[in-house]
Chain A
Amino acid sequence: MSGSRTRTIDGNQAAAMVAHRLNEVIAIYPITPASPMGEWADEWSARGQTNLWGTVPQVIEMQSEGGAAGAVHGALQAGSLTTTFTASQGLLLMLPNMFKIAGELTPTVFHIAARSLACQALSIFGDHSDVMAARSTGFGMLFANSPQEVLDFALISQAASLEGRIPLLHVFDGFRTSHEVAKITVFDDDVMQAMIDDTWIHAHRARALSPDHPVLRGSSQNPDVYFQARETVNPYYDRMPAIVQGAMDRFAGLTGRQYHLFDWVGHPEAERVMILMGSGAEAAEETVHHLVRQGEKVGLVKVRLFRPFDAEALLEALPASVRRIAVLDRTKEPGADGEPLYKDVLGAIAGHHARGGRRFDELPLITGGRYGLSSKEFTPAMVKSVFDELSKLQPKHPFTIGIHDDVTHLSLDWDPAWRTDAHADSFQGVFYGLGSDGTVSANKNSIKIIGEGTDLHAQGYFVYDSKKSGAMTVSHLRFGPKPIHATYLIGDGEADFVACHQPVFLERYPMLDKAKAGAVFLLNSPEPPEKVWDSLPRRLQEQAIEKRIRIHAIDAYAVAQEAGMGRRINTIMQTCFFALSGILPRDEAIAAIKQAVEQTYGKKGRRIVEMNFQAIDAALAGLHPVPVPDKVTAERDLAPPVPPDAPRFVVEVTGEIIAGRGDAIPVSRLPADGTFPLGTAAWEKRNLALEIPVWDAELCTQCGKCPLVCPHSAIRSKIFPEALLKDAPPTFKSAPVRGKDFPKGLRIAYQVAPEDCTGCTLCVDICPIHDKSNVSRKALNMAPQPPLRAQEQDNWNFFLILPEYDRREIKITTIKGSMLMQPLFEFSGACVGCGETPYVRLASQLFGDRMLVANATGCSSIYGGNLPTTPWTVNPEGRGPAWNNSLFEDNAEFGFGMRVALDQQIEQACELLLRLRDRLDADLVEGLLHADQSTEAGLYEQRERIARLKAALGVIDEADARHLLELADVFARRSVWIIGGDGWAYDIGYGGLDHVLAAGRDVNILVLDTEVYSNTGGQTSKATPLGAVAKFSAGGKPTMKKDLALLAMDYENVYVAHVAYGARDVQTLRAFLEAEAHPGPSLIIAYSPCIAHGVDLSHNHRQQNLAVKSGHWPLFRFDPKRIARGDNPLRLDSGEPTLPYREFMQTETRFSMLWHTHPEAAERFAEQAQQEVRHRWHYYRQLAELDWDEHTSPAAEKARLKPETH
């Protein structure tokens, strides 16, 4: 037997380890939760790690999963061992090629971190709906249930596929298995060598396309032979189960780990049986063992090979005693008579019985149920409930488990308090941290220390937030002497250890719900020891007394500060965990933490090592027990997630999700078609900012820059009549409005939303006004939030009820004017200091009340539409942006479809209006048809006309009138916005974007260019600049950034703008106004500093300025309208680069990292990039200076002949 080494890694890494060793070509594209597999593979190849045959696999990032599948197909046809990694929509994009690959009997393994498909909503979490959509492709499917099995099955599937020529999907549950860190036993190369027969590889290569022995493959077949040809593959599929079993048996011989196509667990004479596949089978196994020990005759079949489905092997796995079977599927096929596994099991058993088979004494009753969609918890209590249901005379069928279905009443009840005895001798700990405070890293480190330093088994699972700023993470850690099968979270009353790393969570989350009696509660608290108890809310105090919790506290931030570690508390809290948990002897644990610090920083950073050591020692000194008195002293309790006077939906649904109680929401409360109300982010007060800006009304010149740059719309300006001040709170600030654009007697206020501000400081940074006697004082200055919170909340509430200034009176071409418009995008969960959201908010201010938004999947769809809340909101009239996210790849087409529909509706409405014109006021009809809606006044008047039209139509009892009544609103000009990131626009959606630009319809495309796939964690896109280090470009991107603007300008009818609001805000504003006014397609490419650039986003504006000054981001506008005037359409808005490109590069980690890793390449790139930006500038300047009159330009001639059309 070989390979008894253990590693503590997650499922993705386990899969990638084998895939990288056993392949030559790896084509990838990022998608959650599969991206880390590609990242590992890329990283290993970048480091020169070789595969089993001594060569470094080629890892190629493609423009989409469709592209990756095509590349895989090609590489396979050329004879290379090839793989890919994907999930969800990515797998769907691969389907066409998968049919081909399987149809050509090509051995390959795709590793799938199975994830929900986007239906009523996107979800990044795990279930089997993606792989079930691939059932008909001809790929086999092998399901791994744990990180250990992922490692093992990655090898078994590769061996079996090579031998049997059937391509396989190696499937494991997204997030649960892909991201679960576990201690697993790894195997050495000799195991892989023994599993893979060289003759299979030779055979694969021999089948490759080669001009030396040419063949034709991929022919087109007709009715005469296609059918027969399709049947030729049957023997391969017939043989495949035995081949897979053979591989499993060989593997068992090599490693001692035996698997079967269907693995039986349970009582040998079980009567009630559950059949399922994936990680849920682990929880089921734990439960079955427990129930059998209690004398129950229950059992479980773990399905390994789902395709090709071997009915006989299934039957053999089932004992003859079986009477009742519940088949559980982690997918939903609406409208089907049951989910796929259920149907297969039913077919196998019924078929067996119908053909006279007598495996069972009587035909078992088989029910089918759904569980675990989108990583919904699947716990032993739920397993028990399913077995209990099978005991009933008439078990429910179909059923669901894990939710409360009060609509179709399919769900089974379960007792959430029921537990198995699996964790009697294990340790379970739950840790609440902020995403950015290092809690997860520290916990991963603790798992490694324990997993690799002791004989204990270890498991870590991390629950993340849907927000990018101020995200909460909950780490669930288990350690124990026995293997851990718990594929579910640590439940209420189960934790031996609960840690709260952030004091602010105390008032939000009932963390001690998780604690069991006698548990330890570790709290990071700024309170002195004698005041810690009183700082706990009532519920926590009650639970602490009732459960006899042992509380220990430390002021981790003070310790960190003292040790010179700023706000990094991870090592400190980790030290406290080890000191209190007793999992390892204290000294041993502390030595291990210090060793880990040494390993990470070692000689690279002596000072950091020292600071950490100091912090570790100080943590031990600063940790103190908190006596738990016998009575509650708290004056306050947990804060409600949303105010009780919020709209009913917000209280019942949104609020419950915010509070972390979303699992308990019944089916009836959720919209059936995925439609949600806007404006919900305003109800979620996150209080992230330690400091907020304070306005100095006297110093302020009212330029309006602060609301423009605020990424969270948390600072606003409003102009209002002085008389309204009589109801103002005493500390509400305002000033007489300055400027000739406003009548006398008005006041202006700049007001901060104190609980929505994230404290990014960008408003203070942009403020151009300095106190003449103290330059460090500006018209906005940061001040601690807590003392201001109540006062400013009152002021904010007052500000909100002040009327909006009449849009018709606003000069929107000025920053000050446009910033008086109400943002209809507010308080998003985007990163603190996000460079994208100011653009989105600006569009919402200018056009939000008439906007339709098609939003590509990515950061903007997540901070825009990830539950519980949405930042998109409505104005006092109830108008606002109507928003939808279709997919990642189709966004341009999606928005285009909206435009086409609107155009059609306008045309139809005009026809109807003309048909009814005799019955209507002639001026009204004329006005409706020919309204000038280019200004807010024009829009207002048209809306008035529409109201009159509706009133008139209401009394005409005719079909045409009723029809026009439905369509009447389209007479008001709509603004279609197609919004997405560079991954969409430059890569996966470029084909569609190009087509939509060419099609000429009036759409506005906003590309939020972060120059990298931000949402999935910084993978290279074609927008990534030369020399930047990103995932998949570890050695620096060797090619130039694609010039999307130049490509678009080639169409000549497309409005194109290149903007960076932090460098020239007025240019950005003009570009938005011009783009929207342009009657054809418009493309705004907006420079968006991102945390992925490796720069603190409080320097966001500086970075935009550097980008412009260095020539990295030239500012320009290409307006086809100018062609009609005989002018050159291109206008450069920034000057010739004045800053050496190298100086820009060295301010951002994405570039500067290369000087640390590949200094020569960095120098080369810096030089090349300098030449390129210089060249591009000169090229643009020449374009901008071209003579562009009708004598020289065909476009101008066309424009002259056919002036602007609307």
Chain B
Amino acid sequence: MADLSTTWLGLELANPLVPSASPLSRDTDHALRLEDAGAAALVMYSLFEEKIDREAAHLQRFLHEQETGFAEATGFHPVPEQYKTCQEEYLEQLAALKARLAIPVIASLNGASLGGWIEYGRMLEEAGADALELNTYHLAANPDEDCATTEQRYLDLLGELRRHVQLPINMKISPYFSALAHFATRLETAGADGLSLFNRFYQPDIDLDTLDVAHRLELSRPHEALLRIRWAGLLHGKVNLSLGVTGGFHTGADALKALLAGADVVHLCSVLLQEGPDALARILTFLQDWMTEREYTSVEQLRGSLSQSHAVDPTAYERANYVEVLDSYSSPPGVWR
């Protein structure tokens, strides 16, 4: 049996498969089933900055400041002595998962601006999280904001969180950086312990009936994995960060490719939502079988063996075969003739 163990964010994991932030962690029973299926750690669903803010504003408007100035009705809602906010619920769920699971539990914060919400990192640490994921979902859509400012935004957020917690911090970022490799080193300098490649920006859709810009959830598809694999290969060995890949990993083959390229862990989400915990077990089995068959003794041994630094043709990760790829395509018979 090959040794599947890996180290990620300083945590010793039994294998490199880590379910990423998803609704599955809201339910302790689901989390237990993932653990049983072989998950090596669990990233919790995200605590969103917007949700915290929206909820706080809502409670302020309709609870704490509901006065209308009308003599007969100073307010409309009974003000409860105790109530739970989304962050308190999150802390409770974190505590519940920690109490029931043996694997590490990573709490996830999702936001894009500085402010009080980042302090929740400390509460998550106190509640027993093994690490924190900081998922920064910022679209650089403002023409007045240059790329340096955009990068600084991430670094400021990370720095602020680092000020509050001792825990390992995993940055989950998008691929939309003009100098991603350089930026990764800046994150490392700013205190990140790991990097997750990449969060998926859900794309808004247009409703042709209502002419509204509508939001729609699309689960990841396997073709998305290649971008992650490429960047794991590019960054492996060049930064001193744990590397995770996330987005499009549905098969053992893709997971294996990511490891070969240099990822420390492979995150799974859509495939678990679609197929349940068995998918995780299936991928794990594939890894084990493939490694046994090829006589690999450990993940350690194979990790990064095909990274850019170690690849036979390092240019393959970059521009070199661009032309060949483009030219290699020919339409199916009958399409043009």
Q: Which A positions have Cβ atoms within 8 angstroms of B?
A: 32-33, 35-36, 39, 42-43, 46-47, 124, 175, 433-436, 438-441, 464-468, 471-473, 568, 570, 600-601, 603-610, 770, 775, 831, 862, 1012, 1014-1018, 1029-1031, 1034, 1091-1092, 1094, 1096, 1149-1150, 1153, 1156-1157, 1159
Contact = CB atoms under 8 A, between A and B. Distances in A.
B148 to A, nearest CB: 25
Contacts of B120: 606
Contact of B73 (A441, A607, A1016): A1016
A473 B211 contact: no
Interface string B46-72: 000000110011111111110111111
Given A440-B69, A604-B56, A831-B68, A610 B80 contact: no
Given A436-B69, A1094-B62, A1017 B74 contact: yes
Interface residues of B, number: 40
A434 B65 CA distance: 13
Nearest to A1034: B78
Contacts of A433: 69
B67 A32 contact: no
A1096 B76 CA distance: 13
A1019 to B, nearest CB: 9
Given A610-B116, A1156-B84, A465 B58 contact: no
15 contacts: A435-B70, A436-B67, A441-B67, A464-B71, A465-B71, A466-B71, A570-B65, A603-B123, A607-B52, A607-B115, A775-B211, A1016-B73, A1017-B73, A1092-B76, A1157-B84
B297 interface: no
Interface in B172-215: 211
Contacts of B117: 606-607
Contacts of B68: 435-436, 468, 471, 831, 1091
Nearest to A607: B116
Nearest to B82: A1157
B151 to A, nearest CB: 24
Contacts of B336: none
B29 to A, nearest CB: 15
B62 A606 contact: no
Contacts of B84: 1156-1157, 1159
B75 A1017 contact: yes
A603 B84 CA distance: 11
Contacts of A1017: 72-76
A1149 B85 contact: no
- Of all A-B residue pairs in the complex, the 9 with the closest CB atoms, nearest first, are A435-B69, A606-B116, A1017-B73, A1018-B76, A464-B71, A607-B116, A471-B69, A605-B56, A1092-B76
A43 B74 CA distance: 15
Contacts of B80: 1034, 1153, 1156-1157
Contact of A605 (B62, B76, B77, B85): B85
Contacts of A1094: 62, 76-77
B324 interface: no
Given A441-B65, A604-B85, A1156-B83, A464 B70 contact: yes
A1016 B72 contact: yes
Contacts of B70: 435, 464-465, 467-468, 471
B119 interface: yes
A604 B59 contact: yes
Which of A434, A438, A467, A1012 has the most C-beta atoms of chain B within 10 angstroms of its own C-beta?
Answer: A438
Contacts of B115: 606-607, 610
Nearest to A1148: B62
A1015 B56 contact: no
Contact of B77 (A464, A775, A1153): A1153
Which of A603, A831, A862 has the most C-beta atoms of chain B within 10 angstroms of its own C-beta?
Answer: A603
Nearest to B212: A775
Interface in B94-143: 115-117, 119-120, 123
B81 interface: yes
Contact of A47 (B58, B59, B81, B123): B81
Nearest to B116: A606
A1149 B62 contact: yes
Interface of B: 52-53, 56-65, 67-85, 88-89, 115-117, 119-120, 123, 211
A466 B65 CA distance: 20
A1015 B68 CA distance: 11
B61 to A, nearest CB: 8
Contact of B67 (A438, A1156, A1159): A438
A468 B74 CA distance: 11
Which of B56, B80, B117, B211 has the most C-beta atoms of chain A within 10 angstroms of its own C-beta?
Answer: B80
A467 B80 CA distance: 28
Contacts of A46: 78
A508 to B, nearest CB: 15
Nearest to B213: A775
A609 B64 CA distance: 13
A1016 B72 CA distance: 5
Contacts of B63: 1149, 1153
Which of A46, A436, A467 has the most C-beta atoms of chain B within 10 angstroms of its own C-beta?
Answer: A436
Contacts of A436: 67-69
Contact of A568 (B65, B89, B123): B65
Nearest to B85: A604
Contacts of B83: 604, 1153, 1156-1157
B79 to A, nearest CB: 8
Contacts of A568: 60, 65
A595 to B, nearest CB: 16
Contact of A1030 (B57, B67, B78, B89): B78
Contact of A1156 (B53, B85, B116, B119): B85
Contacts of B57: 608
A441 B75 CA distance: 11
Contacts of A608: 56-57, 60, 116
A129 B82 CA distance: 41
B77 A1149 contact: yes
Contacts of A124: 71-72
A971 B84 CA distance: 64
A250 to B, nearest CB: 34
A465 B74 CA distance: 12
A855 B83 CA distance: 39
A1015 B72 contact: yes
B71 A607 contact: no
Contacts of A464: 69-71
A1034 B75 CA distance: 14
Which of B63, B77, B117, B119 has the most C-beta atoms of chain A within 10 angstroms of its own C-beta?
Answer: B77
B73 A601 contact: no
Given A468-B68, A606-B120, A609-B116, A1014 B73 contact: yes
A438 B72 CA distance: 16
Given A1156-B85, A1157-B84, A440 B75 contact: no
B330 to A, nearest CB: 41
A1150 B211 contact: no
A205 B116 CA distance: 57
Given A439-B69, A1157-B82, 10 more contacts: A42-B78, A435-B69, A436-B69, A471-B69, A607-B52, A610-B116, A1031-B76, A1092-B76, A1096-B61, A1156-B85
A434 B72 CA distance: 16
Contacts of A601: 56, 60, 64
A896 B79 CA distance: 40
Contacts of A1159: 84, 89
Nearest to B53: A607
B66 to A, nearest CB: 8
A26 to B, nearest CB: 16
A100 to B, nearest CB: 30
A640 B116 CA distance: 48
A770 B56 contact: no
Nearest to B120: A606
B80 to A, nearest CB: 5
A608 B80 CA distance: 19
B213 to A, nearest CB: 9
